[in-house]
Chain A
Amino acid sequence: MNRILPLLLTLLGLILFGQGAYIHAKALLAQVLLERAFNTTIATGRPTKPWSWADTWPVARIEVKRLHARVIVLSGSSGQALAFGPGHVELTPNAGERGVAVYSAHRDTHFAFLKDVGVGDEIDIVRNDGRAFRYRADATSVARFDASGIDPLADGHELVLSTCWPFDALTPGADRYLLHATMIEPGS
């Protein structure tokens, strides 16, 4: 018994640790493949899947130059898509279109940099048709996931990046951190 217990603990520890590490590894590796697929999409003009059995495809790249953060956004926001990158929440318009575009990602993988984004920072978004838009962050807030108060059909060109709140919690909760940004018109 004395011999089995430490072995068991080791095994359990390795499994748990491995699972945790796997999630991070998946997130990192997926972004590499997504970056390639995204560049191909822009170059050829056809939606390209990052790997053949993927159920989603890259739709945009979000970049915050000040923090050297860049991520490729996937279409849809199901759990499967979010494991690989930020998701574009359904029924919200694309970046650059009128209304509020909403992108969501995990707070511990792809949107971990969000806590360092402050009001006034610039966020660059490149769509998969090649067009680029620049947004300026102007507000942050916390809301419940089902009471976000975001109306996707609002006037103006706006952006919301959302992730779980608080950033340093270990268990998932009902609150979301919302970073709101408004498009900077070219020439203004």
Chain B
Amino acid sequence: MTMSDEIETDSRTRLAGLVRLVLFMVMQGLAVILVGFAALFLSFEPVWSAAGQPAAFLKASDARSGSLLLKTEDGFADASRLGIDVDLTVSGPTVRARVTQIFRNPTQNWVEAVYVYPLPSGGAVDTLKMVIGDRVVVGDIKERQQAKAIYEHAKQNGQKAALTEQERPNIFTNSVANIGPGETVLVQIEYQEPVQQTGNEFSLRVPMVVAPRYNPVPVVQSVDFKADGGGWGAVKSDSVPDRERISSEVLDPATNTPVNPTTITVHLQAGFPLGEVKSHHHPIQTEKADASTSIIRLAEGAVPANRDFELSWKPAAETAPSVGLFREHVGDADYLLAFVTPPSVEQAQQKPPAREVIFVIDNSGSMGGVSIIQAKASLIYALGRLQPGDRFNVIRFDHTMDVLFPTPVPADAAHLGQATSFVGALQANGGTEMVPAMRAALSDSSNDANYVRQVVFLTDGAIGNEQQLFETISALRGRSRVFMVGIGSAPNTYLMTRAAELGRGTFTHIGSVEQVEERMRGLFSKLENPAVTNLTARFFEATADITPAAIPDVYRDEPLVLAAKLDKLAGSVEIKGRIGDRPWIVTLPLANAAEGKGLSKLWARRKIADAEVARTTQQISPEDADKAILALALGHQLVTRLTSLVAVDKTPSRPEGEPLRLSDLPINLPAGWDFARVFGERPQLPAPPTKRRADNGAAKVQVATLKRVQPAVVQAPATVMLPKTATDAELKLIAGSILLMLSLVLFVYKRRQLFMR
């Protein structure tokens, strides 16, 4: 080697060493920065738990059914309940319930109280009568805001008052103002509900206990609003925190009788010959008052109110659809209720008709996640249920559309196999153009009368142009029946129900994969056994306002209820239809209608429901709908979204000091209740002043701070489910950059090695 070479090699080595050092430093620096970033984004501390935060929203707190909760300084006190009586009258498809309860205020204060009663579904309260101390209070229906104003005014004045409002469709709350110390409160409410029917069995249920699995349970909370008027506060959940501290000098008649003794009487006028009558949780005794009425009482007299009372009854078997007819005269109009029950015996002699079923499945992006799984499972189940003689086709749509076969094909193994694999391969993606799919499904090219044509539509209904869909169905339906299957936790039920009505089919909701088989089986028993179709009703000699306006087909396990308001009860009603392919006509002379109760209210309730539907489908404006609902509610005295019952002290004039007499009561005490025992026993307290005097220091005045108690239904999901709102973008970004750094480091080291060699 020459000298220059040596010198060059030396400088090269030194340079290499320097570069190596610098690179090493840079790598160190970058690694530190990376670790720093990671520490910033990754949180290794335990996640903040919600326990530290005040629960700003509702929390469950149980209340007995029909509890009177007294707001006191120390929290909520349960007023002692001394007795309950439930009297039910079943007239055909309606049940009228009268529930009477007595409470006593065991505190030493004037209180405002809240009374919550859960309603069976479809129930409506229309009567409220109370006796508070010795004041009589009877409710009137008023428009909601007006009712509230009247109640607040009376409360401020120290008058006894009560306000009944519909908070939720299944719960009504009753606020009672100015209850004196030691006073007795007698509450009687009346409500009306339709009889529940599944298949051949009719039933009713009286909620008596807190048992979330049986019934909607009223949840009553006390809310303490912060003094700063922020409008948001903490929730007290425990209803009776210090019962021991409330000294009770009141003689409690309940110590001599069973706790919450409840008597139940049912007057059962089913309207058809009764088969089996059964009580599910209590022994009963039945007696026949006359040929069509049975009276059912509890076998043990008074029972403790610890279980719901459930009664069911069945008709004696019939071979043709039985039609029930009930009438009621209210005001200047007659109300009629026609009740059509599908035959309990199948037309087994006839071969079930061959069907042509078009399945339409929505695979748009909004069905992504669980919904598409449920839809696919439902459809594959449905394909498995087809008979060899049936024909079918499958349409899938998002913002595009695919029809599996050009025309409906016989349901044989080959075609079913093709369809099953087609459905199995579906992915949820794209927009939702429902109208072209509906149009394709309804286009009936063969028009073969030998086949019953059915369209089964599986979707979550997430569209904005519902009106267009309704118009398409109405216009193009032809002889097809449209069955809507609503998929997912929040399908557009208004769309579904209305579409099913217009399509003369039914609506089935499938909310989870577990429900698929059971609900689809139910749907198929309807699809495979059409009971009565093409129903029309005509009144002779009377002009009638019928609801529902377009009578739906009657499927298995579903009753048809027709309510009508007539100008006179004369002539007859003719109901026509088809059973399978046999025409069926039944004419009912109205004179033979049985006397019913609450039919006008049932009719009004349905008209209100019609108005709500028309409002949602934008056939009428919200203002017009509200006007119609208000008119019906006020005319028929129903508590609704827009009306409430308000009652202010209506005591008949009585000389000062004279006690309340039985004849003053606006209600009949239930059988077995002793007026003297209820009202005669007074606590050893100084006579409570008849009106609360706000500035009297002697009586402790408790200003009710309870503004609005928010009950919620525990059983139905009243709270909103919040979607998953976190992406893994950050995680991926960091992981990606770490890996990139790592590979960069490796590259550099490799080059260094090469460089070294």
User: Would A146 and B721 count as touching, CB distance under 8 A?
Assistant: yes
Q: Is B230 an interface residue (CB 8 A)?
A: yes
Q: Could you say which residues of chain A place their CB within 8 Å of the CB of B735? A: 13, 16, 20
User: Would A14 and B722 count as touching, CB distance under 8 A?
Assistant: no
User: Would A14 and B365 count as touching, CB distance under 8 A?
Assistant: no
Q: Could you say which residues of chain B place their CB within 8 Å of the CB of A168? A: 41, 43
Q: Could you say which residues of chain B place their CB within 8 Å of the CB of A52? A: 399, 431
Q: Could you say which residues of chain B place their CB within 8 Å of the CB of A146? A: 719, 721-722
Question: Smallest CB-CB separation from A83: which chain B residue?
Answer: B727
A3, A53, A170, A173: the one contacting B430 at CB < 8 Å is A53
Give Cα A141 to B366, complex, Å. 29
Q: Is A166 an interface residue (CB 8 A)?
A: yes
Q: Is B750 an interface residue (CB 8 A)?
A: yes
A21-51 Cβ-contact flags toward B at 8 Å (1 or 0):
1011000000000000000000000010100
Q: Is B712 an interface residue (CB 8 A)?
A: yes
B718-757 Cβ-contact flags toward A at 8 Å (1 or 0):
1111111111111111111111111110110010000000
Q: Which of B392-437 contact A (CB under 8 A)?
A: 398-399, 430-432
User: Would B736 and A6 count as touching, CB distance under 8 A?
Assistant: no
Q: Which of A62-113 contact B (CB under 8 A)?
A: 75-83, 87, 89-92, 100, 102, 104-109, 111
User: Would B736 and A143 count as touching, CB distance under 8 A?
Assistant: no
User: Would A89 and B746 count as touching, CB distance under 8 A?
Assistant: no
Give Cα A80 to B367, complex, Å. 9
Chain A proximity of B717: nearest CB distance (Å): 9
Q: Could you say which residues of chain A place their CB within 8 Å of the CB of B232? A: 138-139, 180
Q: Is A127 an interface residue (CB 8 A)?
A: no
User: Would A9 and B746 count as touching, CB distance under 8 A?
Assistant: yes
Q: Could you say which residues of chain B place their CB within 8 Å of the CB of A164? A: 724-726
Give Cα A56 to B735, complex, Å. 32
Q: Is B671 an interface residue (CB 8 A)?
A: no
Q: Please judge, given known A-B contacts A106-B727, A162-B725, A166-B48, whether A13 and B41 are in contact too, CB under 8 Å.
A: no
User: Would A151 and B719 count as touching, CB distance under 8 A?
Assistant: yes
A-B contact count (CB 8 A): 232
User: Would B398 and A16 count as touching, CB distance under 8 A?
Assistant: no
User: Would A153 and B369 count as touching, CB distance under 8 A?
Assistant: no
Max chain B Cβ within 10 angstroms of own Cβ: one of A52, A91, A111, A144? A91
Chain A proximity of B615: nearest CB distance (Å): 13
User: Would B50 and A175 count as touching, CB distance under 8 A?
Assistant: yes
Q: Could you say which residues of chain B place their CB within 8 Å of the CB of A109? A: 727, 729
Q: Is B54 an interface residue (CB 8 A)?
A: yes
Q: Please judge, given known A-B contacts A49-B431, A77-B723, A169-B726, whether A143 and B50 are in contact too, CB under 8 Å.
A: yes
Q: Which of B329-371 contact A (CB under 8 A)?
A: 364-369
Q: Could you say which residues of chain A place their CB within 8 Å of the CB of B737? A: 13, 17
User: Would B58 and A151 count as touching, CB distance under 8 A?
Assistant: yes
Q: Is B231 an interface residue (CB 8 A)?
A: yes
Q: Is A134 an interface residue (CB 8 A)?
A: no
Give Cα A106 to B231, complex, Å. 28
B47, B56, B58, B168: the one contacting A166 at CB < 8 Å is B47
Chain B proximity of A38: nearest CB distance (Å): 14
User: Would A102 and B50 count as touching, CB distance under 8 A?
Assistant: no
Question: Smallest CB-CB separation from A146: which chain B residue?
Answer: B721
Give Cα A163 to B726, complex, Å. 8
Q: Please judge, given known A-B contacts A164-B726, A170-B41, whether A78 and B719 are in contact too, CB under 8 Å.
A: no
How many interface residues does A have (CB within 8 Å)?
85
Q: Is B55 an interface residue (CB 8 A)?
A: yes
Taking chain B's interface residues, is the majority helix, strand, or loop, or is none over half, making it mixed?
loop
Q: Could you say which residues of chain B place their CB within 8 Å of the CB of A83? A: 727
Give Cα A82 to B366, complex, Å. 11
Q: Could you say which residues of chain B place their CB within 8 Å of the CB of A91? A: 490, 720
Max chain A Cβ within 10 angstroms of own Cβ: one of B41, B48, B727? B727
B453-495 Cβ-contact flags toward A at 8 Å (1 or 0):
0000000001010000000000000000000000000100000
Q: Could you say which residues of chain B place their CB within 8 Å of the CB of A170? A: 41-43, 728, 730-731, 734
Q: Could you say which residues of chain A place their CB within 8 Å of the CB of B730? A: 20, 108, 170
B56, B728, B747: the one contacting A171 at CB < 8 Å is B728
Question: Smallest CB-CB separation from B733: which chain A residue?
Answer: A20
How many interface residues does B have (CB within 8 Å)?
64
Give Cα A90 to B720, complex, Å. 9
Q: Is A135 an interface residue (CB 8 A)?
A: no
Q: Could you say which residues of chain B place their CB within 8 Å of the CB of A90? A: 462, 490
Q: Could you say which residues of chain B place their CB within 8 Å of the CB of A130? A: none
Chain A proximity of B156: nearest CB distance (Å): 21
B47, B366, B736: the one contacting A20 at CB < 8 Å is B736
Give Cα A55 to B59, complex, Å. 36
Give Cα A6 to B752, complex, Å. 14
Chain B proximity of A115: nearest CB distance (Å): 12
Give Cα A92 to B747, complex, Å. 55
User: Would A155 and B708 count as touching, CB distance under 8 A?
Assistant: yes
Q: Could you say which residues of chain B place their CB within 8 Å of the CB of A79? A: 368-369, 723-724
Q: Please judge, given known A-B contacts A55-B430, A141-B53, A155-B708, whether A81 and B366 are in contact too, CB under 8 Å.
A: yes
Give Cα A143 to B737, complex, Å. 33
User: Would B725 and A151 count as touching, CB distance under 8 A?
Assistant: no
Give Cα A172 to B57, complex, Å. 23
User: Would B725 and A17 count as touching, CB distance under 8 A?
Assistant: no
Question: Smallest CB-CB separation from B59: which chain A residue?
Answer: A149
Give Cα A90 to B743, complex, Å. 46
Q: Is A150 an interface residue (CB 8 A)?
A: yes
User: Would B732 and A141 count as touching, CB distance under 8 A?
Assistant: no
Q: Please judge, given known A-B contacts A138-B232, A141-B57, whether A13 and B736 are in contact too, CB under 8 Å.
A: yes
Q: Could you say which residues of chain B place their CB within 8 Å of the CB of A92? A: 720
User: Would B365 and A19 count as touching, CB distance under 8 A?
Assistant: no
Chain B proximity of A64: nearest CB distance (Å): 17
Chain A proximity of B434: nearest CB distance (Å): 12
Q: Is B157 an interface residue (CB 8 A)?
A: no
Q: Could you say which residues of chain A place their CB within 8 Å of the CB of B121? A: none
Give Cα A7 to B724, complex, Å. 35
Max chain A Cβ within 10 angstroms of own Cβ: one of B367, B726, B742, B750? B726
User: Would B398 and A55 count as touching, CB distance under 8 A?
Assistant: yes
Chain B proximity of A78: nearest CB distance (Å): 5
Chain B proximity of A96: nearest CB distance (Å): 13
User: Would B231 and A138 count as touching, CB distance under 8 A?
Assistant: yes
Q: Is B512 an interface residue (CB 8 A)?
A: no
Q: Is B710 an interface residue (CB 8 A)?
A: yes
User: Would B712 and A80 count as touching, CB distance under 8 A?
Assistant: no
B398, B708, B722, B724: the one contacting A89 at CB < 8 Å is B722
Chain A proximity of B712: nearest CB distance (Å): 6
Q: Could you say which residues of chain B place their CB within 8 Å of the CB of A138? A: 230-232
Q: Please judge, given known A-B contacts A10-B743, A55-B432, A170-B730, whether A151 and B718 are in contact too, CB under 8 Å.
A: yes
User: Would A141 and B743 count as touching, CB distance under 8 A?
Assistant: no
Q: Please judge, given known A-B contacts A102-B720, A108-B727, whether A141 and B56 are in contact too, CB under 8 Å.
A: yes
Question: Smallest CB-CB separation from A176: which chain B residue?
Answer: B722
B231, B399, B719, B739: the one contacting A16 at CB < 8 Å is B739
User: Would B739 and A9 count as touching, CB distance under 8 A?
Assistant: yes
Give Cα A55 to B433, complex, Å. 9
Q: List 24 A-B contacts (CB under 8 A).
A: A6-B746, A13-B736, A16-B736, A20-B728, A20-B734, A55-B398, A55-B431, A56-B366, A78-B367, A80-B365, A80-B366, A81-B365, A91-B490, A106-B725, A138-B231, A142-B53, A150-B57, A151-B58, A151-B710, A168-B43, A170-B730, A170-B734, A171-B728, A173-B47
Q: Which 8 A-B pairs have the closest CB atoms?
A: A149-B57, A17-B736, A13-B739, A16-B736, A20-B732, A20-B733, A55-B365, A13-B740
